Amino acid sequence: MNAVLETQNLSKAFGGLVATNDVSFKLPAGARHALIGPNGAGKTTLVNLLTGVLQPTSGRILLKGEDITSLPSYQRVKRGLARTFQINQLFAELTPLQHIVLAISEREGAATGWWRPVGSRSDIVDEAEALLRQLTLTDVRDQRTETIAYGKQRLLEIAVALAAKPAVLLLDEPAAGVPETERHQILDVIAALPAEVTLLLIEHDMQLVFRFAKTISVLVNGGLFVEGPAAEIARDERVKKVYLGEEAVNV
Amino acid sequence: MSLLLSYFRPDTSTAAGTLLAPAHWRPVEILFWLLAASLFWLAPSKVLLLNEIAILALFVLSLDLILGYAGIVSLGHGAFFGLGAYVAGLLGKHGFTDPILGLFVAGAAAGLLGFVTSFLLLRGSDLTKLMVTLGVALILRELANKFSNITGGADGLTGVTIGPVLGLFDFDIFGKTAYAYSLTVLFILFYVARRLVNSPYGLLLRAIKGNSLRTGAMGVPTNRRLVQIYTIAAVYAGIAGALLAQTSQFVSLDVLDFHRSADALLILVLGGSGHLWGAVIGSIAFKFMYDYLAAITPQYWQFWLGLVLVLIVLFGRGGILGFVQKARDWLAYRKGSAR
Ligand SMILES: Nc1ncnc2c1ncn2[C@@H]1O[C@H](COP(=O)(O)OP(=O)(O)OP(=O)(O)O)[C@@H](O)[C@H]1O
Ligand SMILES: [Mg+2]
């Protein structure tokens, strides 16, 4: 299978703490892959390495076969790699509409236009409206983001990433902190993404994980513990042990 | 007529309408510029003061572009103002007397300095930025002092000759040409800045200010954008400095004094940052406060200024314009609940 995203012996140490330990994995095109592991296992660190927020101590990262290890974040996005953040990274004073218009403008190379006002490109506004509608954000479209409900902010976090039309999307606990009843809405949105988009989901809610993932990697203490088809991982006694006292694995 | 009215009441029911609304000129804005222009005839005895206000407003406006929009704090923005003033003064002294040419060259020189020093601001905290900008300004002032054979040092640069504007309007001793000239330059650069801040580029700057981790994750080359706006702001500040040198036909070390950078910051907080108008209103308020307070308490006017500043930062976040906005919101709320 053709890997879109690949790491080779990737490691990251924070002083003496090895947060990512010799991780080599491949994400095939169109994957529905979940990355699980206990708190502090190094999941977010791995995403930060993949997206260029952090530089690895050693190892390589390949996107569509190209070595992107030393590329800055924004150039990885231009090459089709987008992410969402475990902790919302939004613009508190801007509206959801402004978020999306900006993200689309950047994708279209229109974000450096400095003469005509925001909103004069009707194609961009229409696309932004459609995306907001798809994520049920139309009713909060023009409100300052800091004033909208947390669940809606989580959806906006995803919408901003989607606006880049990524080939690979890394979702870091998209449903974290979202009430039980709204979680499935977030998963529905993810499930509705085009099949050719490669997805990596980090999630603690095992119900969501098994509903979404075809394959799963388990990360423990920064290293890959086990990898395999979802059904196999669900039966794996070692994985159950890792999660013992955390959450019951129910499938 | 109804077309005109519909321009002033932008349709905010659609997505495009809400996005476009801030770019629409409000009647009060147009009124302001008409009033400023009419003062040329209505208050001929005040044009010297008005000229100073226009120059100050342009300088503070340039600080608003980096601080209010892009979130870059600076304690040394006066460096660009001072450089622009010296460049324009030196040109005038050495036979290049055309004022418009002077503006362009001074703006370019300040822009170049802004471009080069912007790279020092890409890393580090706000505190680092404050120190780096302050340091650059101090270095520049010391250089101007040291090379007194070029700058005139502590005695100032004399013998600056400035020709007529566009070859038509001579600078007079009453400052009438000076005010018309500075106000025109301020208006043009305000208009350009207003286009810029309401464009996708302006939205991008606000986004970078809000969260540069996110703009990076959107694919924005954040550092490149910061370098650009810092350079543009430096050009603006350099032009403001050039206006001062040209309209006073004199440059002294005072243009590079620390108090200029500090005043600009203070005025922006006073007027409200991130509005453009805050820079203009703040400059007017500052100059009048200065005039008024200095007249009644010559020694202690800075005490009162300090007090006003503390009160604004503690209770009136958003400065004068923030206060106006709150008052309008409150009135709208009262009107709404009365119904
Ligand atoms: N910038 C940093 N500096 C120092 N240590 C860090 C840093 N970022 C993460 N760590 C440490 O690295 C380890 C892995 O953290 P990480 O956030 O990647 O875990 P995680 O698997 O995402 O956990 P969670 O499920 O709680 O989100 C933790 O021990 C954390 O304290
Ligand atoms: Mg995490």
User: What's the whole-model pTM score?
Assistant: 0.92
Question: Residue B338: is its pLDDT beyond 70?
Answer: no
The CB of A42 under 6 Å from ligand 1? The reply is yes
Phi, psi of A222, deg, nearest 5: 85, -10
pLDDT of residue A245: 46
Would the CB atoms of A117 and B23 count as touching at under 8 Å?
yes
pLDDT in tens, B45-95: 889 999 999 999 999 999 999 999 999 999 999 999 999 999 999 999 888
Ligand 1 center–CA B222 separation, angstroms: 25
Atom number in ligand 1 closest to CA A37: 21
Chain A residue whose CA is closest to B19 = A119
The pLDDT of residue A187 is above 90: no
pLDDT of residue B149: 83
pLDDT one-digit tens code per residue, B129-184:
999 999 999 999 999 888 888 888 788 888 888 888 887 888 888 888 999 999 99
pLDDT tens-digit profile of B300-321? 777 877 887 788 777 767 788 8
Ligand 1 within 6 A of A166 CB?
no
pLDDT tens sequence across A117-133 = 999 999 999 999 999 99
**Residue-wise pLDDT tens digits, A206-224:** 888 888 999 999 999 999 9
| A85, part of any domain | yes
Q: What is the model's pLDDT at position A249?
A: 44
pLDDT over 90, % of chain A: 72
A200 located within any domain: yes
Question: Tokens representing B126?
Answer: 């706000």
| A163 pLDDT above the threshold of 60 | yes
Find the radius of gyration of the CA atoms of chain A: 18
In this prediction, residue A88 carries a pLDDT of 93
Which three-class secondary structure state does DSSP give residue A31? coil
Mutate which of A45, A200, A202 for ligand 1? The one with the most ligand atoms within 8 Å of its CB, which is: A45
> Which distant-in-sequence residues (6+ apart) come within 8 Å of A86 by Cβ?
A44, A172, A173, A176, A202
User: Is the pLDDT at A244 greater than 90, yes or no?
Assistant: no
| Residue A137 located in a structural domain | no
Share above pLDDT 90 across residues of chain B, in percent, rounded to a whole number: 59
Residue B333 pLDDT class (50, 70, 90 cuts) = confident
**What is the SS3 assignment for chain B?**
CHHHHHHHCCCCCCHHHHHHHHHCCCHHHHHHHHHHHHHHHHCHHHHHHHHHHHHHHHHHHHHHHHHHHCCCCCCCCHHHHHHHHHHHHHHHHCCCCCHHHHHHHHHHHHHHHHHHHHHHHCCCCHHHHHHHHHHHHHHHHHHHHHCHHHHCHHHCECCCCCCCECCCECCCCCCHHHHHHHHHHHHHHHHHHHHHHCCHHHHHHHHHHHCHHHHHHCCCCHHHHHHHHHHHHHHHHHHHHHHHHHHHCCECHHHHCHHHHHHHHHHHHHHCCCCCHHHHHHHHHHHHHHHHHHHHCCCCHHHHHHHHHHHHHHHCCCHHHHHHHHHHHHHHHHHHHHC
Res. B214: pLDDT tops 60: yes
Flag if A114 and B217 touch (Cβ within 8 Å): no
Chain A stretch 47-86, residues whose beta carbon is closer than 8 A to a beta carbon of chain B: 51-53, 72-75, 77-78, 82-83, 85
Structurally, chain A folds into a number of domains equal to 1
Q: What pLDDT score was predicted for residue B337? A: 66
Query: Which residue has the least CA distance to atom 1 on ligand 1?
Result: A14
What is the distance between the alpha carbons of residues B150 and B91, in angstroms, rounded to a whole number?
11
Residue A23 CA to ligand 1 centre (angstroms): 15
Q: How far is the CA of A151 from the centre of ligand 1 (A)?
A: 24
Task: State the ligand closest to the CA atom of A41.
Answer: 1
Domain presence at residue A154: no
Query: Which of A106, A120, A163 is nearest residue B20 as measured by Cβ atoms?
Result: A120
What are the structural domains, with CATH classification, of chain B?
A: 27-280 (1.10.3470)
**For residue B3, what pLDDT is reported?**
63
CB contact under 8 A, A115 and B220: no
Question: Residue A22 Cα, ligand 1 centroid: separation in angstroms?
Answer: 16
Q: What is the mean pLDDT of residues B253-265?
A: 92
Q: Whole domain around residue A178: which residue ranges?
A: 3-94+164-244
| Nearest alpha carbon to residue B103 among B85, B117, B79, B115 | B85
Q: Is the CB of A38 under 6 A from ligand 1?
A: no
B23 shares contact with chain A (CB less than 8 Å): yes
Helix (H) or strand (E) holding A8: strand A3-14
If we measure between CA atoms, which residue out of A189, A195, A203, A197 comes closest to residue A35?
Answer: A203
Q: Do B200 and A113 touch (CB under 8 A)?
A: yes
- Of ligand 1's listed atoms, the one at least distance from the Cα of A43 is 21
Contact A91 B217 (CB under 8 A): no
Distance A165 CA to ligand 1 centre (A): 28
Q: Look at residue B245 in the predicted model and tell me its pLDDT.
A: 95
What's the pLDDT at A1?
A: 53
- Name the average pLDDT for chain A: 91
Position A251 scores a pLDDT of 40
Check B204 against A113: CB less than 8 A apart: no
Residue A176: band (very low, low, confident or very high) from pLDDT cuts 50, 70, 90: confident
Q: Does residue A123 fall inside a structural domain?
A: no
Q: Using CA positions, which residue lies closest to atom 16 of ligand 1?
A: A42
Q: Do A129 and B203 touch (CB under 8 A)?
A: no
Residues present in chain B in total: 339
pLDDT, tens only, A44-83: 999 999 999 999 999 999 999 999 999 999 999 999 999 9
Chain A residues in contact with B19 by the CB 8 A cut-off are: 97-98, 101, 117-119, 125
More confident residue, A113 or A249: A113
Q: What is the CATH classification number for the domain harbouring A232?
A: 3.40.50.300
**Cα B90 → chain centroid:** 23
Residue B109 pLDDT class (50, 70, 90 cuts): very high
What is chain B's mean pLDDT, rounded?
A: 89
Q: How far is B202 from chain A (nearest CA, A)?
A: 7
pLDDT at A23: 94
Residue A114 covered by a domain? no
User: What's the pLDDT tens digit per position in B13-52?
Assistant: 888 989 998 999 999 999 999 999 999 999 888 899 999 9
Residue at token pair 């600076």: B74
Query: A43, A47, A171, A218: which to mutate for ligand 1, most atoms within 8 A of CB?
Result: A43
- Judged against a pLDDT cut of 90, whether residue A31 lies above it is answered with yes
Mutate to test the pocket of ligand 1, among A14, A53, A86, A203 (most ligand atoms within 8 A of CB): A14
Note whether B203 contacts A: Cβ–Cβ < 8 A: yes
Residues B213-234: what's their mean pLDDT?
96
**Which atom of ligand 1 is nearest to A204's Cα?**
25
Q: What is the position in ligand 1's atom list of the atom closest to the CA of A173?
A: 27
Q: Is the CB of A43 under 6 A from ligand 1?
A: yes
Judged by DSSP in three states, A227 sits in strand
